[in-house]
Amino acid sequence: MPLEVTATDTFASPTEASERRISIVARRAISLCQVAKGEDPLCDIFERGHSVSDFLLQAADSWLG
């Protein structure tokens, strides 16, 4: 699944600590006909998204440390 990942450090003022944000967007075309027939792949897509989230949460400490 192709992912678009954006990471940003934001400073409210030069004397304050930064606020870190990460944004992840994935796009997948799904046929409305498949959804209507109950053949949609949404469960697989959500499981993949969950796997990505788990990976990021497990790795976050090492990236920020």
DSSP-based three-state secondary structure for 48: helix
Predicted TM-score of the model (pTM): 0.57
Query: Tell me, what's the pLDDT at 45?
Result: 82
pLDDT tens digits along 18-64 = 888 888 888 888 888 888 888 877 788 888 888 988 988 888 888 76
Confidence of residue 65 (pLDDT cuts 50, 70, 90): low
Q: What share of the chain is helix, strand, coil (3-state, %, to 5)?
A: 45, 25, 30
**Residue 56 contacts residue 21 (beta carbons within 8 Å):** no
- Write the CA distances from 43 to 38, 39, 50, 58, integer angstroms: 11, 10, 10, 23
- Could you identify the residue written with the tokens 């792949």? 41
Query: Tell me, what's the pLDDT at 15?
Result: 87
pLDDT tens digits along 1-15 = 688 888 888 998 888
